[in-house]
A and B are shown apart, each in its own frame.
Chain A
Amino acid sequence: MEPCESVEREVDKVLQKFLTYGQHCEQSLEELLRYVGQLRAELASAALQGTPLSATLSLVMSQCCRKIKDTVQKLASDHKDIHSSVSRVGKAIDRNFDSEVCGVVSDAVWDSREKQQQTLQMAIVEHLYQQGMLSVAEELCQESTLNVDLDFKQPFLELNRILEALHKHDLGPALEWAISHRQRLLELNSSLEFKLHRLYFIHLLAGGPDKQLEALSYARHFQPFARLHQREIQVMMGSLVYLRLGLEKSPYCHLLDTSHWAEICETFTRDACSLLGLSVESPLSVSFASGCVALPVLMNIKAVIEQRQCTGVWSHKDELPIEIELGMKCWYHSVFACPILRQQTSDSNPPIKLICGHVISRDALNKLINGGKLKCPYCPMEQNPADGKRIIF
């Protein structure tokens, strides 16, 4: 907040100065014009009468001239005074924001620029499809002459169609989709179909007592879900009692909450994405967000490294110099760091489980072999190195 606030303070000052200057300028010029106008009128009447220029008038005229000169010059210099406030804005920006995003990335990375560009544009197109911005994606494909095959687009087009219908409170396409994918949805333990039926039922209820018969007959759709969602079905059937009174005044008024619609969109998106093997958030937006988190941290450490002149620490090649916290939702893969060597395990140096159940990396294990035997570093249990079992997370 602080950087924004300091710049804002300066901008506010400038705005204030412009305001007062503008008012003052207009006022004084108007006054001046009026005064001169008066004088001119007097002179004009004198001209008409054919009288020569009187001494007083002459004096008044020269006073007027002086006044004009003084006023306009003051206006010019007053405006000049505002300059310092304006440049303070610039200085505040320079002070509070970093003008260079530098040196965090090694240049070698972008070597095959052309290909990288293509791949990046592709990632952007994918992102746009996933966000539902289909027309923008199409435009980008055209402008960058990228070809996206239909199989890739197809699921997004469908998803988007259904979501748009849901936004208009039309459950039809979503229900169709859910029913056709019923089996796979059940495998995922998704209750999407039930929720859709439920929302439709509520939608009928909201139609008032005339819809009672229709609602009742629709209720048979709940049958296959009776076991899993018994309680919710009971609640809905119970609400029928209040249909004549109006649901809004009944204890069941919460069923009419509009948040259900937002929720159903979310549930649908989540389940559909799982079904398609996609993540809910596009890869580009997750990487962008993590880049945003990482950038200041890496720049800070770069500054520290340069300050302390130990540039060898970060070679840009293998690993980032420090850990960047992104939150637990970003733990996509398991990472095992050998507690002894403090290194990540890999295919060439896999984690090994010892007989006692402790896990260390193979390199660590080899280092601990003493005279053909191995002592676990955590519990002093002796064992045969060959008894170690490679594990896979």
Chain B
Amino acid sequence: MAVQESAAQLSMTLKVQEYPTLKVPYETLNKRFRAAQKNIDRETSHVTMVVAELEKTLSSCPAVDSVVSLLDGVVEKLSVLKRKAVESIQAEDESAKLCKRRIEHLKEHSSDQPAAASLWKRKRMDRMMVEHLLRCGYYNTAVKLARQSGIETRTEALQPGRGEPAGRGPAGHGHAGLPARHTHLPLQGPAGPGPVEDANPAVPVRQLPAAPAGEQLRVHPHPAGGPLGHQDSCYKEDGSSRSPDCPVCSRSLNKLAQPLPMAHCANSRLVCKISGDVMNENNPPMMLPNGYVYGYNSLLSIRQDDKVVCPRTKEVFHFSQAEKVYIM
């Protein structure tokens, strides 16, 4: 991969990016816990009620038959309690296990095997894209991408027709109990050709992260326009300094990156136009008489019969005419 990310850097980024990844299943866990508690409390009170009735009857010398029938009632309520308790606990446990699975996936980023780490990075990108696509309302694409990238289990049965409508509520609208804290980031405009009506907010957002994450894909190319050395060379009129590898020089990103701030470079970094290699003491920059500078090694490699042809102006010079320049 072109961009070097050390384990420490990945960790830092994780802190910043993955909040929704963990928070959403946590909220589900919380919700299920509360539901379980409610169920248990309700059934417990039913049992207590029936038992109280039995006690009352006992204190007034009852017929055995009535005691037996009341006891049957108690048995029934106890069985209901047992069933409901087991179900609720299962549900809570499931959501706790989901949390665990997500954490384990996140931990993969620092795996010792380089293949695992780069797979993780690729999945990260796909995850962000899926979230972005969902926010845009491109539900089918998101599902296809999730399936193809093998992250489908994470999105856990996205229900059809419940994708996120573009133009979701204003700031403050809850996402599974999460306030949308994204006042700094622009929200989408009114709904586009989204396939959905306003779905019950609580349901789809089990999987959909809080708004900030959905914005992350857009936020990322932002800072990127910066550090990638977005500078004049990517925007020259005649496209003369375009580099095929530079992302900012590519069609779409060129337009996106234009309004972004430039990267900050305090030190010179020189790259030879011929070879793409860095120019430093090992490959000193040499100036041809027309003012164009290339690396010494590259000039050697294009030298023929002691002459060199400037690749950019096609002028021919003697090799000896190249002068060394000193960059501090």
Tell me the A residues contacting B by CB distance below 8 Å: 1-5, 7-8, 11-12, 14-15, 18-19, 21-22, 25-26, 29-30, 32-33, 36-37, 39-40, 43-44, 46-47, 51-53, 58, 61-62, 65, 68-69, 72-73, 75-76, 79-80, 82-83, 86-87, 89-90, 93, 96-105, 107-110, 113-114, 116-117, 119-124, 126, 128, 133, 135-136, 139-140, 143-145, 274, 277-281, 283-299, 316-337, 339, 342, 344, 346-347, 353, 356-359, 378, 389-393
Contact = CB atoms under 8 A, between A and B. Distances in A.
Nearest to A53: B64
A287 B37 contact: no
A330 B2 contact: yes
Nearest to B20: A99
B325 interface: yes
A294 B229 CA distance: 12
Given A4-B106, A105-B185, A287-B253, 4 more contacts: A102-B184, A318-B262, A339-B268, A393-B293
Name which of B63, B213, B262, B326 has the most chain A CB atoms within 10 A of its CB: B326
B99 A288 contact: no
Contact of A288 (B51, B75, B224, B241): B224
Contacts of B323: 353, 357
B229 A331 contact: yes
A341 B137 CA distance: 49
Given A25-B86, A33-B78, A39-B71, A47 B3 contact: no
Interface string B101-139: 001101100100000000001001100110011001111
Given A1-B107, A22-B89, A144-B136, A277 B244 contact: yes
B201 interface: no
Given A76-B44, A102-B185, A296-B16, A288 B79 contact: no
B48 A15 contact: no
B217 A288 contact: yes
B278 A331 contact: yes
A68 to B, nearest CB: 5
Name which of B9, B64, B248, B253 has the most chain A CB atoms within 10 A of its CB: B64
A8 B184 contact: no
A12 B107 CA distance: 15
Contacts of B270: 334-336, 393
A330 B110 contact: no
A378 B328 contact: yes
B327 A336 contact: yes
Interface string B298-328: 0000000000000010000000000111111
Contact of B85 (A19, A25, A82, A327): A25
Contacts of A347: 232
Contacts of A378: 326, 328
A340 to B, nearest CB: 9
B268 A18 contact: no
A315 B302 CA distance: 45
Interface string B215-241: 111111111111111011110000001
5 contacts: A18-B92, A26-B86, A51-B64, A284-B221, A291-B221
Contact of B3 (A7, A326, A333): A326
Nearest to B186: A110
Contact of B2 (A32, A37, A145, A329): A329
B29 A53 contact: no
B273 A29 contact: no
Interface string B47-67: 110010011001001111101
A44 B138 CA distance: 65
A46 B255 CA distance: 90
A283 to B, nearest CB: 3
A391 B292 contact: yes
A98 to B, nearest CB: 5
B215 A101 contact: yes
B44 A391 contact: no
Interface residues of B, number: 153
B110 A1 contact: yes
A52 B63 CA distance: 7
Given A18-B92, A104-B223, A318-B262, A293 B5 contact: yes
- The 6 A-B pairs with the shortest beta carbon distances in the complex, nearest first, are A291-B220, A327-B4, A283-B247, A332-B246, A287-B224, A324-B227
Given A22-B86, A36-B74, A123-B253, A86 B29 contact: yes
Nearest to A358: B326
A70 to B, nearest CB: 10
B207 interface: no
Contacts of B292: 391-392
A295 B100 contact: no
B33 A82 contact: yes
A327 B3 CA distance: 6
B264 A320 contact: yes
A100 B234 contact: no
A391 B287 contact: yes
A146 to B, nearest CB: 11
Name which of A12, A22, A68, A105 has the most chain B CB atoms within 10 A of its CB: A105
Contacts of A145: 193
B122 to A, nearest CB: 8
Contacts of A47: 64-65, 68
A108 B259 contact: yes
Contacts of B285: 393
B82 to A, nearest CB: 4
B71 A40 contact: yes
Contacts of A135: 144, 148
